[in-house]
Amino acid sequence: MAIRRGRGVAAINYPTGMNLGGDPTQALVHSTPTGNFMVTLSSVDLGQGMKQIMAQICAETIGVPTDRVVVDTADTDTGPHCMGTFASRGTHRAGNAVIQAAREARQVMLEVAAEELEVNASDLETDGQGNILVKGAPQKSISIFDVALSAHFKRGRSISGRGMFLIPRSYPEKETGAMKPSTCYAHACTVAEVEVDDETGEVTVLTVKNVFEIGRALNPKMVEQQLVGGSWMGISHALYETTEPYYPNRDHGGTDFNQYLMPGPGDLAQTEIIVLERPSADGPYGAKGPGEMCANPQIPAVANAVFDAVGVRIDTLPITPERILRALKAQASN
Amino acid sequence: MALALQTFSTVKDANAALKAAGTRYLGGGTLAVRAANEGDVSVSSFIRSTEPSLSAITVSGGKVRIGASVTMAAIARHPDLSSLSHAAHAVGGPAIRNMATVGGNLFAPAPYGDFTVALLALDATLSTDGGDLPIETFLVKRESIHAIVTAVGFSLPAEGSFRFLKVSRIKPKGISVLSIAAVLEQAPDGTVSSARIALGCMADRPMRATATEKALLGRILTSHGIAPALAVANDGTAPITDPLASAWYRNEVLPVHLGRLLLA
Amino acid sequence: MAKVSVQFTLNGAEKAEFIDSGTTLLHALRDKIGDTSPKGGCHQGTCGACSVIIDGELRLSCLTLAETCSGAAITTTSGLSEGGVLHPLQRAFLDAFATQCGFCTPGMIMAAKVLLDHTPNPSRDEVVEALSGNICRCTGYEPIIQAVLTAARSNSQNAARGESKKMELRKSYFADQRKDDLHEIGQPRPRSDSPGHVTGKTAYFADRNFPGMLHLKMVRSPHHHARILSIDISEAEKHPGVVKILTAKDVPHNVYTILILIQIGPEDETVLADGKVRWKGEAVVAVLAETERAAQEAAAKVKVDYEVLPAVFDMEEALKPGAPIVNEYHGRNYYLYDSGECRKVRFGDVEAGFASADHVLEQTYQSSPIEHAPTETTGCIVAPEGNDRFTCYTNTQAMFFTLDNASIILQMPGNRLHFVGGTVGGGFGGKVDVIVEPIAILGAKLTGRPVSFIYSRAEEMQISSPRAAEKVVIKDGVMKDGRIVARKVTGYTDAGAYSRHSPYGAQKGAGHYPGPYTIPNVWIDTYCVYTNRTPSSAMRGFGVTIGDFALEVQMDKLARLIGMDPLEFRFINAYRDGDMKAHRQPTEGAALIECMQEASRAANWPVAEKFMAMSSYAKGA
Ligand SMILES: Cc1cc2nc3c(=O)[nH]c(=O)nc-3n(C[C@H](O)[C@H](O)[C@H](O)COP(=O)(O)OP(=O)(O)OC[C@H]3O[C@@H](n4cnc5c(N)ncnc54)[C@H](O)[C@@H]3O)c2cc1C
Ligand code: FES
Ligand code: FES
């Protein structure tokens, strides 16, 4: 038997947001009487951590610590419209809506603070710790707690804001296909190293080195979660997954996690993740959507590595031991 | 009919209850309860017995008796069964092993039944209240057996003579592409003096590789020595095709894995 | 129904309950006792989300009958933290960011706890083994393994395969385009939802239980393509426990399509099959009953008479003249765009490009359908509010999208509908179809009772939309010096029997090709094809993932064809700011080159100095 090694590379880009636009998302932000901030949305957290990211975006924009922001989402009685959490649009679309709403709320907050401090609102800044200071004279300050109390009970102002983000819909030109699919793209390059057992066709992914360019890592630990999980899923797509193992024959579709194959905890490749940030022009703090594209480059990288190892091309996904073995037999008989 | 469970302290009473329509014996339930959850409404009554002998393992004078309710986990950790622990460990993940019984494994359709492959190689005898029957006889007609299997018995294989290999796509726990169990005895000169080899997933239930067994006799376990045995490894196989692999693939890799097991 | 009493201790507290004989421990814990920390991800034993500890052993509560636990001591994840202090494992899961959707977390923690109880200082292999019966679809397992090792304070000795490095941010790239002066953005703040996940307190839609709730089970087509001759529900209606049976005629606006909201029609799919079934598994009759079992039993009594019709599974076959028509609402086996039978992109003169090329390579790539396989299956629970409003607790990925479509299907003003969701056990695009909500709301409306409709794992795997199978044919003209001078791509998306999101996905492919490369002559056709299989829909990487596989394997082949290093070959063709794309948008914010430069370093895959000196910024800028 021979275990043969190979390595492959792939480079990709990925559009952020619903293709061709036309997918709005709204957000509302308001302060409580004690200077905490509520973000109201109808976007959905699928586990990617949308709520946490929206809290950080709102906090950054208003100028308070993240733990003073509460996100209330996915209730159609309270949350304004969002197209949905898909197409890598959650962070980008909802994030922009939150920024707009938070800016408007911040403006009211600064106006109330300006009245309290008897200065111009434009002379004020936040310290990110929950205080508003006069630029250049930081000893002159007021806490956001006090500003909110004053707004509510003394000055009758609503510290609140509305946000809406919409990329206008693009309609492809019939004959040429001229269109604007997306306004920003994330990027990735992956190098995978595999071992292939040339008697059984079994593949072991030894390492994957992924470089992702995602605009801005709004929360690096959460970005890491997505990218590590996505990289695993990419390898899974490359080598394991399908609901129709004998496609286009419809038989033998798996109905459980015993039959629907995904790499187990003993099948993990040594995974390296490197992130580059080229802020996007229209992303919230430059962010792009990393959630989908992070599972794409591993697939061709693994496919190319398999070829590098054993010299057969498997152009059909998933690249199963069976497909490799058939190709090796065909190669041997040629 | 809603689902119900009836528990009996003796196998005798449980066997009597199993005569009623719509009943099914409940071992660890990893297949039987799943079927009920998934809408198999043909069963309306689970029957089980708590007779203590069902859960006992006895090892004496080289003879092993494992009660049908003994779990894979219990076998895997039993100090006198260490040679088999690998095979018991091959069934499912930790939670499944704590539930899956020997009795249930005997009835599990391919690709399940890994431990039964081991029992087939070990030439086990199955006990029921109505008498004993060899595992090979049992496997042929298991669909028609409604009586409770109470225990499996076999002779403990000689030190180092039992080998087991399960091939799966997912590590460390995945269901079988195939499994192979072998009891091989060698003469002092290294030639094989007796061989009993059982295969899982190479038919709809565990089967013997009789041609391979014969071809191994008198041979030494080198790649040259086993070549004739591998050449006939696929004799009589009719592998299953399932989401993991086709019958073609199973046939192709059986000799490869068998060779690796024999040379290990 | 026979009631039996069971007594056991749950997290140290005595519990005594009367339950229906045959109830699983999972149902007893969740529905009777109210401990919803064990999750039902499959009810098959295959996901591990329902794991609990019984008398010190890890067990699957979905396969354990509650009455067999009498006298036992049961531990669940909700019982691990005492007095608000997290168990070390829970703490470690938080610190390692080992939860994403959190649906697998309680089961993972149970499996890990049993391990550490018996093996306080496990090796990495022992951790891997201990977790092997538990599925996680989000994390890739590594953070979970790390969390368990941290909780054990063990330094895994064997730095085996799988040990991963921490993510690194390479700030040196694009530093001129970025201000790093932010307070909250860029900070690795802990996730606010994780404490709920690790304690089993996060409420997913199915963690709500309403008195009098009905269970909906679907009678599905056993055929790939068949005419329905008759449906007889008379026996099923009489079955004890059955409250309501729904067929096509009960659905106010039975023929729908979800993208109608963005004006992509025609309506082509039935909520409940009417006259015909077009794929194996299609919903035909909905049974609502007091218990799941009663619904299953009644479903088995529904009699549907079919006349089987020829089916087509292969896209090429489907596109041939004379093929069986899958979907009469289209009248042909492909989606008709305003541009014709496919979405087209035409840029430059592709034939002239091929003519001038040193080599031309045409290759075909193919994929099979893929399931999202979230650990939480698709579902919803609908509760009538008593004021003619209905609250739908759902795990949809798109609240208003679902609400608006439900409103159309049910011909019910949107103000009668209240959707609550947002905490989802994994989506990956699988929960954007509007499938379970309308029929469950209809059931609640017609019975006045709460209704639960949750996909079984088997339904999630074979009935819910997969990622489409795709076929991609790429023909490239390449020069010896590495320049790709022409690329023609023909993409086929296997929509299955209905459109759902597929016309959009196929079109997205047209906007994505020819990939992140600047090619002067491009021709793209993307087709959305109907076959008699489970309708496909969106999935992570929708419209792009398979295209990228095809493109990037093709790039590898081209590089080898001209004897060039595959990475260098990509540098030669990589797009940069200002380059005109085939769909006639100038490239902005490119970063492919930098990703490849960094990959070259990280993977120790050297490329020529001139490539390391390149930049995505506009050429010459
Ligand atoms: C996630 C998962 C992974 C699995 N992995 C494996 C695997 O790797 N290898 C493998 O072999 N199996 C596997 N299985 C299948 C199954 O768990 C085992 O085969 C197990 O041994 C079945 O035993 P049980 O006690 O649970 O059977 P049960 O479900 O209780 O019973 C199964 C059948 O056997 C009958 N039966 C049980 N005991 C007796 C008896 N004493 N007398 C007469 N009839 C009886 C029952 O009536 C029923 O028809 C897996 C299952 C799951 C859910
Ligand atoms: S293993 Fe019990 S619900 Fe999945
Ligand atoms: S976090 Fe594990 S399944 Fe989502």
d(CA C493, CA C530): 9
User: Which fold does the domain B162-263 belong to in CATH?
Assistant: Enolase-like; domain 1 (3.30.390)
What is the CA(A66)–ligand 3 centre distance, in A? 24
In which residue ranges of chain B is pLDDT below 50? none
CATH 3.90.1170.50, applies to C203-309+371-464: yes
Say whether C602 and A258 touch across the interface (CB within 8 A). Answer: no
- How large a percentage of chain A has pLDDT more than 70? 99
Residue C164 pLDDT: 65
d(CA C119, CA C121): 6
Residue C165 pLDDT: 74
Reported confidence tier of residue C159, pLDDT bands at 50, 70, 90: very low
Q: How far is CA C575 from the centre of its chain?
A: 31
User: Which fold does the domain C1-154+195-202 belong to in CATH?
Assistant: DNA polymerase; domain 1 (1.10.150)
d(CA C131, CA A316): 31
Nearest residue (by CA) to ligand 1, atom 27, is B104
DSSP letter at C339? T
Q: Is residue A174 part of a domain?
A: no
Kindly state whether residues A212 and A112 are assigned to the same domain.
Answer: no
Domains: count for chain A: 2
Please, what is the angle between helix C105-118 and helix C88-95, to 10°?
130
> Is 80 exceeded by the pLDDT of residue C331?
yes
Kindly state whether residues A88 and A133 are assigned to the same domain.
Answer: yes
Residue B146 pLDDT: 86
Q: How far is CA C148 from the centre of its chain?
A: 27
Residue C114 pLDDT: 98
Residue A232 at interface with chain B, using a CB cutoff of 8 Å: no
pLDDT in tens, C491-516: 999 999 999 999 999 999 999 999 99
Residue C156 pLDDT: 47
Q: Is residue A263 part of a domain?
A: yes
> Is 50 exceeded by the pLDDT of residue C161?
no
Count CA atoms within 13 Å of residue A21 on its CB side. Answer: 15
Reported confidence tier of residue A104, pLDDT bands at 50, 70, 90: very high
Phi-psi region of B57 (alpha: psi -120 to 50; beta: other; left: phi over 0): beta
> Is 50 exceeded by the pLDDT of residue C155?
no
Closest C-chain CA to B45: C22
Reported confidence tier of residue C158, pLDDT bands at 50, 70, 90: very low
Residue B79 at interface with chain A, using a CB cutoff of 8 Å: no
d(CA C5, CA C17): 6
User: How would you list the strands of the sheet with B125-128, edge to edge?
Assistant: B57-60, B63-67, B149-155, B125-128, B131-134
Mean per-residue pLDDT, C19-29: 96
pLDDT in tens, C223-234: 999 999 999 999
CA dihedral angle for residue C333, residue C334, residue C335, residue C339, rounded to 10 degrees: -140
Tokens coding C26: 């999972």
Cα–Cα separations (whole angstroms), residue A16 to A51, A180, C98, C194: 19, 12, 26, 26
Kindly state whether residues A151 and A190 are assigned to the same domain.
Answer: no
Residue C84 pLDDT: 84
Closest C-chain CA to A286: C178
Kindly state whether residues A40 and A8 are assigned to the same domain.
Answer: no
Q: A150 to chain C, minimum CA–CA distance in Å?
A: 26
Domain around A322: 3-16+183-333
B131-145, B183-197, C140-154, C602-616: the lowest-pLDDT one: C140-154
pLDDT in tens, C409-454: 999 999 999 999 989 999 888 898 999 999 999 999 999 999 999 9
Residue A249 at interface with chain B, using a CB cutoff of 8 Å: no
Residue A133 pLDDT: 97
Residue A88 pLDDT: 67
Tokens coding C82: 């005492």
Helix H or strand E segment including A165:
strand A160-165
Provide CATH 3.90.1170.50 ranges for chain C: 203-309+371-464
Residue list, ligand 1 pocket, CB within 6 Å: A 258; B 24-32, 68, 91-92, 96, 99-101, 103-105, 107-108, 112-115, 148-149, 175; C 44-46
Residue C368 corresponds to which amino acid? S
Mean per-residue pLDDT, A75-80: 94
- CB-count exposure of residue C503 (10 Å: 0-12, 13-18, 19+): buried
The ipTM of this complex is 0.97
Strands (E), C439-520: 451-454, 470-478, 484-496
Q: Is C287 in the pocket of ligand 2 (CB under 6 A)?
A: no
Give the residue from A108, A135, A165 where a domain finishes: A165
Residue C379 pLDDT: 98
Q: What is the 3-state secondary structure (H, E, C) of chain B?
A: CCCEEEEECCHHHHHHHCCCCCEEECCCCCCHHHHHHCCCCCCCEEEEECCHHHHCEEEECCEEEEECCCEHHHHHHCHHHHHHHHHHHCCCCHHHHHHCEHHHHHHCCCCCCHHHHHHHHCCCEEEECCEEEEHHHHHHCHHHCCCCEEEEEEECCCCCCEEEEEEECCCCCCCEEEEEEEEEEECCCCEEEEEEEEEECCCCCCEECHHHHHHHECCECCHHHHHHHHHCCCCCCCCCCCCCCCHHHHHHHHHHHHHHHHHC
> Is 60 exceeded by the pLDDT of residue A247?
yes
Residue C159 at interface with chain A, using a CB cutoff of 8 Å: no
Residue C1 pLDDT: 62
Kindly state whether residues A30 and A147 are assigned to the same domain.
Answer: yes
pLDDT in tens, A207-237: 999 999 999 999 999 999 999 999 999 999 9
Kindly state whether residues A132 and A227 are assigned to the same domain.
Answer: no
Return mean pLDDT, chain B. 97
Residue C179 pLDDT: 84
> Is 80 exceeded by the pLDDT of residue C210?
yes
Name the residue among C21, C62, C294 with its Cβ closest to that of B4. C21
Look up the CATH number of domain C318-369+466-602.
3.30.365.10
> Which residues is B59 bridged to in the sheet?
B64
CATH of residue A144's domain is 3.30.365.10
Q: C274 to chain A, minimum CA–CA distance in Å?
A: 23
Residue C277 pLDDT: 98
Cβ–Cβ under 8 Å, residues A31 and A101: no
pLDDT in tens, C83-123: 889 999 999 999 999 999 999 999 999 999 999 999 999 99
Residues 94-133, chain B: which have Cβ within 8 Å of C? 94-96, 98-99
CATH 3.30.465.10, applies to B52-155: yes
Considering every ligand atom shown, identify the ligand nearest to the alpha carbon of residue C49 and give its number: 2
> Is 60 exceeded by the pLDDT of residue A268?
yes
Q: Is residue A254 part of a domain?
A: yes
Residue A259 at interface with chain B, using a CB cutoff of 8 Å: yes
Kindly state whether residues A240 and A155 are assigned to the same domain.
Answer: no
pTM check: above 0.90: yes
pLDDT in tens, C32-88: 999 999 999 999 999 999 999 999 999 999 999 999 999 999 999 999 998 889 999
> Is 80 exceeded by the pLDDT of residue C160?
no
Provide CATH 3.30.365.10 ranges for chain C: 318-369+466-602
Closest A-chain CA to B223: A1
Say whether B3 and C59 touch across the interface (CB within 8 A). Answer: no
Residue A1 at interface with chain B, using a CB cutoff of 8 Å: yes
Residue A54 corresponds to which amino acid? M
What is the CA(A167)–ligand 3 centre distance, in A? 32
* Residue A292 known to be catalytic: yes
Residue A1 pLDDT: 61
* Candidates A116, A125, A241, A292; catalytic one: A292
Q: C288 to chain B, minimum CA–CA distance in Å?
A: 14
Q: Is C40 in the pocket of ligand 2 (CB under 6 A)?
A: yes
Nearest residue (by CA) to ligand 3, atom 3, is C136
Reported confidence tier of residue C621, pLDDT bands at 50, 70, 90: very low
Kindly state whether residues A46 and A71 are assigned to the same domain.
Answer: yes
Mean per-residue pLDDT, A173-194: 95
Helix H or strand E segment including A108:
helix A95-117
Q: Is residue A61 part of a domain?
A: yes
Mutate to test the pocket of ligand 2, among C37, C42, C292, C454 (most ligand atoms within 8 A of CB): C42
